[in-house]
Structure 1
């Protein structure tokens, strides 16, 4: 592991080598748990790690001044009571080396709500309150997943900002995005246009049901003229202990089922989707579109049609842009890639869409050519992408897109399409 943390220039070569031993990877030092009982505190199997920590500890994702550093950020599985502490094997001798160790607790404490536990005994005592926890809002969906031969039951609840106590709960819940969503930002829950979809595992303890948070999604209902709405999915996070179970698919379908029943909804959009979310969305949308008449194989073979966008918008609330993407995925499925002519025809069709921004650039340049002097126009063209660069960019874009489409098709091939 190469760290970009830099020691002061005044530190000598020998001391510098010694002090490098006190630089730790913050992703490795951190450990998270969703604690259901006191026994989980000693159970390493329920520990999970962050995907990133630069939003708390800086771009280097390193902490100076410690060896054997362990930072514990634990949450009770239902109410999300929080415990934060640190321990280390050794701390740098500040007087000997004239350097100070980095703050460890403070950067996290500034990002999480006040009132967290720093004493393990008080945190353990708080676990008892989880037994009476009830999810906020309205139950929208139930499903069961087989995990290693064991059935796990889940429930999805939807609500706005109104439930008493939810704002405080959400403040604790959204702290997870710091470690799993790049460029994450907390949302303003005072706005009543926010909708929240939370998924919990429901399990039994001595015959009594209890809940463990598994993930959540935030959706903002934008206004659309004249009296409609355009919901935009803002954040979706399935917590690491529950990933790769298909929960994201269930959560997204729950959102779709809720909003497609509303005639006022124009379409459902997504804000800055991650690559992982794109795969979930493309899979769900492709699976749903397969059931529509306009996406039958013979229709796909005939090429893109505005009827596809109309039907997908009306029945599934998909935007035209997303519908076109789904069309390309399903068209790739029926394209015989072993047939050079068929495969070339498909590639050219997709590249033609990808080339639209360049055609717009050409159009704008033609307009400028009429308005500018030859000298001014020549200076402007220096910033324009060359033909060779365009072709290279288009090829790279296409290859990345086809690889993504193939991943979606592989998942569709193993899915229940009934």
Structure 2
């Protein structure tokens, strides 16, 4: 009975880590105390474990504040109660500060007054690297800078910046900052007030320049993040376009790739590449209806650094836009072409099984073939087709709205 009572009491001291962590990008003292400035992580398992639970507190608030420009950092916690001796065994709360400190850059503050006292100096922050793009979104000015490990001030800045990936990119890890093949593209909001110019970090991406035979390079986007307070403004597309435009000018770049893209980034990339490719002659409606071609791959790669796999996706999206789905014959031709591609993995699996037939017993081969029935394959294929078309329609709607 007593053990059950203690267990119930302990449950009250469990906090959801994602909602307990309050992150802020602050420009002044007013921002520090403005609750509406706070945003939360998408994930916290890389700091607090798979359960994403913090034990030992009631009404916990983990305060992680960054100067919006320099990313000078403050870490503190608030709570209404902490677990005490509720059983014969001394129960201690999780050491939240130590867990978060492990991923923060050196030089962060645990005293809020000391953090605030540094603002006059931090307000003088200016971006590092080469300015490659300036644009205006909703009457706000944004700039994109390119930097590398040899760029003055950048390595120490990146130590602060990279902590965001642990909260927002699943399975992310810190990069090797001794490798000169890394390129970084930083997006800042630029604002002026009473003669003072301020820069606030809005997002960034890290790109690794891989080798491509015989003397080319193939940049691969590794990390891509727009911070929560700057999302839903079209800034992701602007940053990706700036990166694409930069490498498109480089004659030594073969094409662009992406490392393990999540669905949100796939949508963003599709949207940006459709915008870019639709101006090429081979992606005009009269060419699209003839089917996917080598000329499409060659032009997309040569002029825009779009790789073959992504070129195929762009073709399928634009072909959908050029297809009259109310025309049975046009719709049938488009559906068959998409399903043929979607069915390719099943056909490869069958071919592989055929090769193995010589080394498998009759029973083993029959079991392998029966693993997915013909009807199941058709159902999976139809479902994949419907999901693909729905996704493509969303891309086309966004393109039309732009």
Change in CA separation of 1:345 and 1:11 when aligned onto 2, cut-off 3 Å: farther
TM-score by length of 2: 0.95
User: Which of 86, 91, 113 is the aligned partner of 2:105?
Assistant: 113
Check the 8 A contact 1:259/1:265 in 2, yes or no: yes
Q: Identify which of 44, 52, 72 aligns with 1:53.
A: 44
Give the Cα–Cα distance (whole angstroms) in 1 for the partners of residues 235 and 88 of structure 2: 50
Question: Which residue of the other structure, out of 141, 149, 154, is the alignment partner of 2:142?
Answer: 154
Shift of 1:344: 3.2
Give distance in 2, aligned partners of 1:195 and 1:214. 17
CA distance in 1, matches of 2:336, 2:121: 60
* Whole-angstrom distance in 2 between the partners of 1:11 and 1:326: 64
Q: Structure 1 residue 104 and structure 2 residue 109: aligned?
A: no
Calculate the aligned-residue CA RMSD, in Å: 1.7
Q: How far is 1:165 from its partner?
A: 2.5
Q: From 275, 278, 282, give the equivalent of 2:270.
A: 282
Equivalent in the alignment of 2:114: 122
Instruction: Report if the CA contact (8 A) 2:147-2:154 is conserved.
Output: no
The Cα offsets for residues 308-329 of structure 1, whole Å up to 9 and x where unpaired, read as 1111111111111100001111
Question: What corresponds to 1:190 in structure 2?
Answer: 178
Q: Larger deviation: 340-349 or 312-321?
A: 340-349
Deviation at 1:396, TM superposition (A): 2.6
Match of 1:242 in 2: 230
Unmatched runs of 5 consecutive residues or more in structure 1: 1-9
- The alignment partner of 2:107 has SS state of coil
Give aligned pairs, total.
Answer: 401
- Aligned residue runs from structure 1 range 30-179, under 5 A: 30-96=21-87, 98=89, 99-146=91-138, 151-179=139-167
Distance in 1 separating the partners of 2:49 and 2:391: 31
**Alignment correspondent of 2:13:** 22
Change (3 A) 1:97 1:57: farther
Local SS of the residue matching 1:132:
coil
Offset of 1:354 from its aligned partner?
Answer: 1.2
Stretch of structure 1 that moved more, 93-102 or 115-124: 93-102
- Between the aligned partners of 2:268 and 2:300, the Cα distance in structure 1 is 17
Cα deviation for residue 397 of structure 1 reads: 2.1
1:219 aligns with 2:207: yes
- Mapping for residues 254-293 of structure 1, pairs under 5 Å: 254-293=242-281
Q: How big is each residue's C-alpha offset from its partner over 1:51-95, in whole Å with a ceiling of 9 and x where there is no partner?
A: 111221122211121111110000011111110000100112234
In the TM superposition, what whole-angstrom CA distance separates every residue of 1:355-387 from its partner, at most 9, and x where no partner exists?
A: 1111111112222223445355446546x5332
The superposition leaves residues 139-180 of structure 1 with CA deviations (integer Å, 9 ceiling, x where unpaired) of 00000111xxxx210100002210122111101101001111
Alpha carbons 1:219, 1:233 under 8 Å: kept: yes
Give the secondary-structure state (helix, strand or coil) at the position aligned to 1:302: coil
| TM, length-normalised to structure 1 | 0.92
